[in-house]
Structure 1
């Protein structure tokens, strides 16, 4: 019995850049996710109630992204949508560093959440395309496991930056998150079957 069967892993031959992209993306997400509210309050000086309103408004305005994402995936393919979603997040996280006006941040948060809402379905559609026969469930399980581990590890790394760097640590977390999305987009864009 092969090792992949023993551990329930999918066949990853020729698909390793996709796996590395998943890990890099999850690490970057984990860097910022635990500090989203605190970043806008501590690094940008925005009151917590305003931060909550900003994030809630962005989430509400991004609701159409999920249904529209499915149509977009069908039209141009999951890989292009995935790369586009990551590039949207590269731009918005980079802009977070240079913006501190709440209405501008609402626009950026909304765009970030559109990118997030396009990202997940495009990952699932891409997995469906690349999985070998009978291995789709294994790919989904591996994706979820890598995502959880990456977010956890990213949170630990992010807490180190914030603990040591204070406000500049928050900025480093945001910049590293943007870099992680850029790396993930590059890996998926340059991967060939």
Structure 2
């Protein structure tokens, strides 16, 4: 906690504002995700098998927009992108309160997803702009803590609002993101010329614009392989959020308010333990961490397959929270290590597209499997997690080796010492 407090005080203002916006986004997600399946099945009259498709519409908007506008913050700046995207997502959430029917809901979710496609990657990019490379794993962990803090209050607030109407949670989530966008408008300064980014290679700045410049995953084989394993690992982990509300309700284990409380507990666990786990993880290899995360997730699935009882639900979300604590900070750090300075936002956007793909496929597959058999998602997830955790560990380890082989993602030149590489690099970027 002492380290956390001193690190917090040492952050420049744009990074602090980025953490605040992560808090707002976490609150909105926490208020929406646990209650959306319950709202869709009870108040909207949507079949269970189609709920995942609506989740897919939200992620689909992000997938559609990500390759085209995902790297726009590299060209127009971080500030306008953060302001417009947060306000757009907030208005989209509020619009859900007023719409009715599958088609109208799908359209709103697609438009909201388009706005959201640049929100999270641009926040991470702004934080990376104003912090040292050696500190990126720590700050990305702090970003996760900020998001999880919002995910404590979001479900808790949603649990209270659900007593009135499940649709009112959309007003709370949207209002929080509008607040975040307003704060960015008032207080955020542009970060695109900060720190090492200001000294980026002019050749990179003069690269072609357009779609090819915004699809680094197709131009960088290392990034593409890394993101493939991220998608596979996260798809099954997403079933916890998408399926547990239905699983618990059908088993008469939890009410809608109880579901919100359960996810608030999971977020509180992340807030309390993330920095501790990150400090412990610094001395471990990527493969060790991803295998540990895989085993933790597999244990959660075994418990859920065995019983939908309250104790099993609590233990399962606890184990999955620990798994995310181990893996989540590794991925943006690895992506940032592979990214040239002038294309940092584009690389982060490619990573976000992978997460969006997970958010689209995860609920769709999970709820479809649940419609076939209530325990099928947990049984099918065990081998998927086992394979993906091994592949992800190898891919992140290779990104670490690339970072330590002489390429400095910040300056495009010889690498400085980082938490991933304790000795100076001797080679230059090819």
After TM superposition, is the score higher than 0.5? yes
Distance 2:54 2:5 in 1: 47
Cα drift, residue 134 of structure 1 = 4.5
Paired residues of 2:78 and 2:122 also in contact (CA < 8 A): yes
Counterpart in the other structure of 1:191 = 187
Measured against aligned partners, the alpha-carbon deviations of 1:139-174 in whole angstroms (never above 9, x if no partner) come to 212101111232133223312321x22xx2x22211
SS in 2 for 1:64: helix
Distance 2:78 2:48 in 1: 36
Distance 2:18 2:120 in 1: 14
Counterpart in the other structure of 2:344 = none
Paired residues of 1:18 and 1:187 also in contact (CA < 8 A): no
Counterpart in the other structure of 1:159 = 159
Structure 1 residues not aligned, in runs of 5+: none
SS in 1 for 2:45: coil
Measured against aligned partners, the alpha-carbon deviations of 1:166-191 in whole angstroms (never above 9, x if no partner) come to xx2x2221101110010011111211
Counterpart in the other structure of 1:182 = 178
SS in 1 for 2:117: helix
Structure 2 residues not aligned, in runs of 5+: 190-430
Aligned pair count reads 187
Cα drift, residue 58 of structure 1 = 4.2
Paired residues of 2:29 and 2:151 also in contact (CA < 8 A): yes
Distance 2:56 2:4 in 1: 43
Distance 2:160 2:112 in 1: 24
Distance 2:61 2:93 in 1: 18
Distance 2:28 2:59 in 1: 20
Distance 2:27 2:53 in 1: 27
Q: How has the CA–CA distance of structure 1 residues 131 and 53 changed in structure 2, closer, same or farther, with 3 Å as cutoff?
A: same
SS in 2 for 1:98: coil
1:45-124 to structure 2, matched below 5 A, reads 45-124=45-124
RMSD over aligned CA atoms reads 2.5
Counterpart in the other structure of 2:13 = 14
Q: Which has the higher contact order (CA 8 A, sep 6+)?
A: 1
Q: How has the CA–CA distance of structure 1 residues 83 and 171 changed in structure 2, closer, same or farther, with 3 Å as cutoff?
A: same
More helix by share: 1
Paired residues of 1:65 and 1:114 also in contact (CA < 8 A): yes
Q: What TM-score, normalized to structure 1?
A: 0.82
Q: How has the CA–CA distance of structure 1 residues 20 and 124 changed in structure 2, closer, same or farther, with 3 Å as cutoff?
A: closer
Q: What TM-score, normalized to structure 2?
A: 0.40
Measured against aligned partners, the alpha-carbon deviations of 1:59-104 in whole angstroms (never above 9, x if no partner) come to 3353132223432111212222222221221221122111112112
Paired residues of 1:69 and 1:121 also in contact (CA < 8 A): no
